[in-house]
Every structure is written in C-alpha cells, then in structure tokens.
Amino acid sequence: MVQSLASDPTVTEALGQLWYNSSSNVWKVAIEGSGAWSAGGNLTRPPSTINSGAGTLTAGLVFGGTPYPYPPVDSTYSEEYDGTSWTEGNNLPTACHMNAGAGSQTAALSIGGKISTSDQVFSFEYNGTSWGDGGDLPSGKSLLGALGIQTAAMALAGSPAPTNTSAYSYDGTSWTEEATLTIPRISQPGGAGTTTAGICFAGENPAASPIEVVETEEWNGTGWSEGGDLNTGRHYVGVGQGTATDALCVGGSVSPKQQTEIYNGTSWTETGDLATGRAEMGQSAGINNTSTSWCCGGYPFTNTTEEFANPVLAIKTVTTS
C-alpha cells in the first residue's frame, strides 16, 4: 500500500518504496544508484605521486612518494586520514618512492620501493604511531602490487625484470617466494584479498602489445589461475582494496584514467568515474569491502583526495513529462 507521510523517512528505511509527501504535495521514491566519487580533504604535503596506502575511509594512511616537481625526490612523508582531513604522522625510516602498501592505519606495511633509481628490499611496519623495520624481500622491488594485512601480505610482480612475475608472501616476520604469476606485470599492478584468496590485476606487460594489462589472476594460496578481464587495461593503478570477490580498480596509466571498476569474483563492472583522472596515487588498501574508499595525490601532480561511496542512496521527487 502506498503511504501518505508528512515527512520523508530515512533513505535506508524507504529503499525501493514510493510514498506521497503530504507537506510538500509531491510523490517521492528512495533509490539505490551506482558508486560515485566526491571531494575529500586535501593532503598536507605538496602535490605528489603516492604509490602506497593502507586503511579505510575513516582511518587511512599514505606514505612515501614523489613530491612535485620531477625528477623523483624520495619522500619520508606519512599522513593519516579520518574521513575529513589529513594530518601529518611520523616519517618513514628511509625516504623512498614507488613502494607498495597493505594493512590498516594502525598496522600498515610499506613494501620495497626505490631510493633514487635503486630497487630496495626493505619493508617497514607501522603501529599507528611510528614506523619500524620489517623483514627484507628476497630481491629488491619497486612499482609492485600488494594485498593483505601487516602479518599476512603478498608482494606482487613489479620491477625490475626478470622478476616481474614474482609473488612473495609475508607472515609478519619474513618473506617467502610463492608460485609465480603467469603474466609479467610492471608499473604498479593492483592487488586485493588475502594470502589464501587474492587477485592481481592491471599493470604493464612489456612483452605484449598493447602493454596495458586487462587480465586478472586469482590466487588460491597455492597457485594462480585466470580470472575476468578488466574493461579498461591500465597500469599505475591505485594499490587496490577489497577481497577476491569484492575488489576495486581505480584510475591508472600515465595518461590519467577516470574509470573505476568493481570485481565480483567473476567479472569487472564499470561504476562511477573519478572526478579527476589520476595515476600513481595513494588509495585505501587492505581487506575492506568496496562500499567506501578514498584515493589521493597522484599524477598529474595533485594533493587532492576523492572519496567513493557504493551504492549511492538517495530520495528523489517523482516527476512526469
């Protein structure tokens, strides 16, 4: 039965319902729309590319990167996000850029990266206040993907060749070499999920044409298998957020892309675009669902943040034409 109400209910209470608002004399309906991005708080640092992030929309963290202008200048920056504004945190022990990130705001992991032009083996652990040394990678890596949490993470592909199909797992103390990916991936592929159920997507395959990767690979804790293809191939994507059945791929490529896609464990679906195309940015990461996210910084050099909500719920006035 259609109700006549003096005031609108909350959108979650009324989702999918039609009612008559007797105060404004209009018909209304509550609807669920696709994901959308909106403006968030600016970083405190100068405009930067940031290859690493961790945490959630209301408890985020970014670290390392390259402040404007080019050529690259290694950064020790670390900043925390509360869903409204960024505040400066304690610095990384070593300035670096092109590092990967995983985990939460209070238990984050920075993996590899470059010092100047040299690929590094180090990883650093954050406890919510300060950074300390973690275990060293088996080989120096930069522009790599990552997934997981501080005590159960994976480092995926990246530079240099010929280790751009490598996969290493971390137990909170040391890294172990795992079965290799089937597709070479450099230039910051994305990752999501856990050390027993994860995915790796996007990146750049230097042996293919076009070089921008559309393929997704799925990890079951032992080996890799083929998953669904992205609708838009890209590299330099946001670090990746979610699980093997609910993941987010954002932006990417040096020619900056706005496209955002969501993975359901089988296929990728396009959702709302970024307001500003960007690559090499920081993004919320870790084993979080894709209902909320953020991305910040990136190329072209910026210190802006965008926030993602999925789905977008709204109350609409019914009109006729």
Q: Which helix H or strand E contains 11, and what residues bound it?
A: helix 11-14
Are residues 27 and 75 part of one domain?
A: no
- Token pair 């319902």 in the structure block, residue: 17
Is residue 188 domain-shared with residue 154, that is, in the same domain? yes
**pTM higher than 0.85, yes or no?**
yes
Kindly report, residue by residue over 40-76, the tens digit of the pLDDT. 999 998 889 988 999 999 999 999 998 877 667 788 9
- CA 202 – CA 3 distance, rounded (Å): 49
- Residues 79 and 186 grouped into a single domain: yes
pLDDT digits (tens, 9 = 90+) for 117-172: 899 999 999 999 999 999 999 999 999 999 999 999 999 999 998 889 999 999 99
Assess whether 214 and 290 both reside in one domain.
yes
Q: What is the pLDDT of residue 27?
A: 80
Q: How confident is the model at residue 310 (pLDDT cuts 50, 70, 90)?
A: confident
Q: Could you give the CA distance from residue 170 to residue 68 in angstroms, rounded to a whole number?
A: 32
For 292-306, how does the pLDDT look when each residue is reduced to its tens digit (9 = 90+)? 999 999 999 999 999
CA-to-CA distance for 267 and 216, rounded, in angstroms?
9
Range of the domain at 55: 36-309
Distance (Å, rounded) from C-alpha 10 to C-alpha 314? 9
pLDDT classification of 23: cutoffs 50, 70, 90: confident
Residue 116 CB neighbour total at 10 angstroms? 11
- pLDDT of 312 reads 61
191, 216: one domain = yes
How many domains, in total, are found in the chain?
A: 2
- pLDDT mean across residues, the chain: 91
Please check whether residues 122 and 221 belong to one and the same domain: yes
Closest CA to 73 of 46, 107, 105, 52: 46
Sheet holding 167-170: strands in order across? 145-149, 152-156, 167-170, 175-177
